[in-house]
Amino acid sequence: MNQDVYRVLLDTAKSGRTVTYGEIAPMVRLDMALADDRNQMADILREIAIHEHQAGRPLLTAVVVHAQDQQPGKGFFTLAKDLSLMHGSDQTTYFAMELGRVFDHWQNSVAS
């Protein structure tokens, strides 16, 4: 798991904000304009999300959004469905709920 990205996502969640894919990409030397790099970013975030899910925590990767619409990418929702966390097709509601859970967990708990 990419520890640098993980730490940035933790800090972002603890501060109650989001971060864009484009803000994270330079940390791992990726260019979001390139399809291969977008796939690599998706792999990094998927690994973090699975780690969090296995630890019984909400999907930390909910804090990563597109700059244009402030929504996570397709991979976030696909994984949520694969993990049986998201039921139905209302992505906006699921995202808002999961982001709230992430903020609540990391701002109000002593978890580390």
Residues 6+ apart with CB under 8 A from 50: 79, 83
d(C-alpha 96, C-alpha 92), whole Å:
6
pLDDT at 109: 72
Q: Which two tokens stand for residue 103?
A: 């903020």
Q: How do residues 70-89 score in pLDDT, each as one tens digit?
A: 999 999 999 999 999 998 87
Question: Residue 92 pLDDT more than 60?
Answer: yes
Name the nearest CA neighbour of 102 among 21, 9, 25, 8: 9
Q: What are phi and psi of 34, to 5 degrees?
A: -105, 130
- The overall pTM is greater than 0.85: yes
Contact 103, 12 (CB under 8 A): no
